[in-house]
Chain A
Amino acid sequence: MSAEALDTGFAEARDTGVFARAGVLRRLARDRVAALAGLVLTVIVLAALLAPWIAPYDPYFTDLTKVMRPPDAEHWFGTDNTGRDIFSRVIYGTRNTLMLGLVGVIVGGFIGGVLGILAAYYRRLDGWIMRLVDVMLAFPAILIGLAVAAIFGAGLTAVVIALVVATVPDVARVARGAAIGVMGQEFMEAGRAVGVSDGELIWRYLTLNCISTIFVFLTLRFGQIILIGAALGFLGMGAQPPTAELGMMAAQGRDFLFMAPHIATIPSCAIFVIVLAANLLGDAFRDVLDPRLQT
């Protein structure tokens, strides 16, 4: 018996996984809220990707003759205190904010997933890895952001590090939980019995069977991670002016709140819409794919 023979067992196990399950998209589309959230998020991501072609103005071009204009036909979201077009800046800001969240979730998810799966497979690593996770959990993300910004200076790197550290421990726990469940399946024992190598067991049989749970968990976390990134931007620990980032734009607008409330309110609304859409979509993914992941 070889690895090929095991594939039947593997296929059965994969039926409970995400990507093989038939009709996932159809079921998501039937949930109207999720469909709408997905649509909104798609539009936002496309706008962020195509920013240079979509933005009507240069986001860094200052026009001191048109300062703090409220929204009108010429400038859809008005202009800020130096006459920059807020609509264009929100598009570029969304690009930065989304990118921060994505990098945080993907890098953090990868590290956390690897740690969790290794902890489940090699039981003697378990104690050490989980202790490391406990230490990481001892730092709230905002504090990590503050500390990193204090050491290396404020900037996008500081925020990315904070977001990665915020993602790793929870993902590691979820991945470990899922992987321990898979370890109990017969095909793992069978694979070991016929001498399938550790590497192949971990990758083909363990990781591929856990990846759906990790994926769903990451979509659930995505909104939170974006919020943390925006909060750090608001505190001045992230992108530095003139770079557009939604949290930082809200902070800058705060100084002109009473004269021109739209400067702070519009970027804040943009964050709210992104995070809301991400959260709704994450909830829908969970309901369809992995209802056990109630957090």
Chain B
Amino acid sequence: MGQQIVHRLLISFPALLGVLFLCFCLLQVVPADPAMIIAGPDAKAETIAAIRQELGLDRSIPIQFFEYILRVLRGDLGRSIISNRMVSEELAMTIGPTVELMLGAMLIAVPSGLALGTLAAVNRGRLADRVIMACSVAGVSMPVFFIGLILIQYVGFKWALLPFTGRTGPVWDGGLPSLILPALTLGAVLIGPIARLTRTATIPVGTLIGLQAAFLLGGAVGTETMFSWPGVGRLAVGAIVSSDFPTAQGAIMILAIAFLSINLLVDVLYVYLDPRIQRR
């Protein structure tokens, strides 16, 4: 089993390097020369050269990449061009809400998906099974934002039952109402696939949830944008739209690393839960 885990870690390492390299590239494409911006419009060539040297911009790309990794390891992701705050600070503020949203969605999707899938499996071939499977196909075919738009339109606006913009605070501090609609939107997309996989029961539930991690992450970006939920996904989208490269790089990195870690965790759990895997 230890061998399996080591193997997974070895696979994750190149992926992690890939993530870092992609984020490094993001910082390389800044349209203007950062040294020129810092030096000001009528700086002399020597001043610009001095700043370039100070920033390490005159060194070769591999060395710059290596230095970038060192900086990331120290937690230094640079400074946002728009807000002028440290990117790490911005991320620290947004991670909580994103985790909250994802957990809320899982809390809605996993029990209902398991229940519906089991119900369908017990009544295989009968009406209940057909209705549940039809709904699950429909659910898988629906864009996340469609569900969100309908919830905003009716529950949020027409019937004015729940808030639908922003986050009023942590769940334990009166934030629950503002979490319900975003979590419902994100959770609704997951119910279908979970029900479907539960019905066929080809893989353990733990892995099944891990398989939805990509779904969950992608859906969270859309959901956060739609509900103005102050999470990492919305930060990333906003940063890209406003060409705030340092922030975009940091947010994408966090999301990718989160995805890698979830998959790693699930694989380890899989080996732990299903001893047959070890023998392969």
Complex contacts, B12 vs chain A, CB 8 Å = 138
Residues 201 to 256 of chain A near chain B (Cβ within 8 Å): 223-224, 227-228, 230-231, 234-237, 247, 250-251, 254
B149–A231 CB distance below 8 A: no
In the complex, what distance in Å separates the CA atom of A231 from the CA atom of B189? 13
- Given A138-B263, A250-B143 in contact, is the A143-B252 Cβ separation under 8 Å? yes
A150–B146 CB distance below 8 A: no
Complex contacts, B125 vs chain A, CB 8 Å = none
Question: What 7 pairs between A and B have smallest CB-CB spacing?
Answer: A142-B218, A138-B15, A276-B141, A140-B214, A268-B146, A275-B141, A150-B240
Complex contacts, A280 vs chain B, CB 8 Å = 137
- Given A228-B218, A265-B149, A279-B137 in contact, is the A147-B260 Cβ separation under 8 Å? no
Closest to A224 in B: B140
- Given A235-B222, A235-B237 in contact, is the A257-B157 Cβ separation under 8 Å? yes
One of B21-29, B45-53, B105-113, B272-280 contacting the partner: B21-29
Partner pick for B137 among A150, A237, A283, CB 8 A cutoff: A283
In the complex, 7 of the A-B residue pairs with CB atoms within 8 angstroms, ordered by the A residue number, are A138-B18, A147-B252, A149-B240, A150-B248, A254-B145, A272-B143, A275-B141
Q: Is B65 an interface residue (CB 8 A)?
A: no
Residues 143 to 165 of chain B near chain A (Cβ within 8 Å): 143-146, 149-150, 152-153, 157
Instruction: Give the size of the chain A interface in residues (CB under 8 angstroms).
Output: 46
Q: Is A83 an interface residue (CB 8 A)?
A: no
Q: Is B91 an interface residue (CB 8 A)?
A: no
- Given A235-B225, A250-B146 in contact, is the A138-B217 Cβ separation under 8 Å? no
Contact bitstring A133-163, B, C-beta under 8 A = 1, else 0: 0110011111100110111101000000000
B15–A135 CB distance below 8 A: yes
B217–A142 CB distance below 8 A: yes
Interface size class of B (residues with CB under 8 A): 35 or more
Contact bitstring A283-295, B, C-beta under 8 A = 1, else 0: 1000000000010
Contact bitstring B120-153, A, C-beta under 8 A = 1, else 0: 0000000000000000011011111110011011
Partner pick for B237 among A138, A146, A269, CB 8 A cutoff: A146
Q: Tell me the A residues contacting B by CB distance below 8 Å.
A: 131, 134-135, 138-143, 146-147, 149-152, 154, 223-224, 227-228, 230-231, 234-237, 247, 250-251, 254, 257-258, 261, 264-265, 268-269, 271-272, 275-276, 278-280, 283, 294
Q: Is B245 an interface residue (CB 8 A)?
A: yes
B221–A142 CB distance below 8 A: yes
Q: Is B171 an interface residue (CB 8 A)?
A: no
Q: Is B202 an interface residue (CB 8 A)?
A: yes
A279–B140 CB distance below 8 A: yes
Q: Tell me the B residues contacting A by CB distance below 8 Å.
A: 11-12, 14-16, 18-19, 22-23, 25-26, 29, 137-138, 140-146, 149-150, 152-153, 157, 200, 202, 213-214, 217-218, 221-222, 225-226, 236-237, 239-241, 245, 248-249, 252, 255-256, 259-260, 263
Complex contacts, A143 vs chain B, CB 8 Å = 217-218, 252, 255-256, 259
Closest to A142 in B: B218
A151–B26 CB distance below 8 A: yes
Complex contacts, A139 vs chain B, CB 8 Å = 18-19, 22, 256, 259
In the complex, what distance in Å separates the CA atom of A80 from the CA atom of B157? 20
B245–A247 CB distance below 8 A: no
Closest to B8 in A: A134
In the complex, what distance in Å separates the CA atom of A168 from the CA atom of B208? 21
Task: Quote the shortest CB–CB distance from A77 to chain B (angstroms).
Answer: 16
Task: Quote the shortest CB–CB distance from B103 to chain A (angstroms).
Answer: 18
Partner pick for A140 among B18, B137, B140, B218, CB 8 A cutoff: B218
A234–B143 CB distance below 8 A: yes
A146–B236 CB distance below 8 A: yes
Complex contacts, B255 vs chain A, CB 8 Å = 140, 143
Partner pick for B145 among A154, A251, A258, A283, CB 8 A cutoff: A251
Task: Quote the shortest CB–CB distance from B125 to chain A (angstroms).
Answer: 14
In the complex, what distance in Å separates the CA atom of A231 from the CA atom of B226? 11
Closest to A265 in B: B149
- Additional pairs, 7, CB under 8 Å, beyond known A138-B263, A140-B259, A142-B221: A146-B240, A147-B22, A150-B240, A223-B140, A234-B143, A234-B145, A276-B137
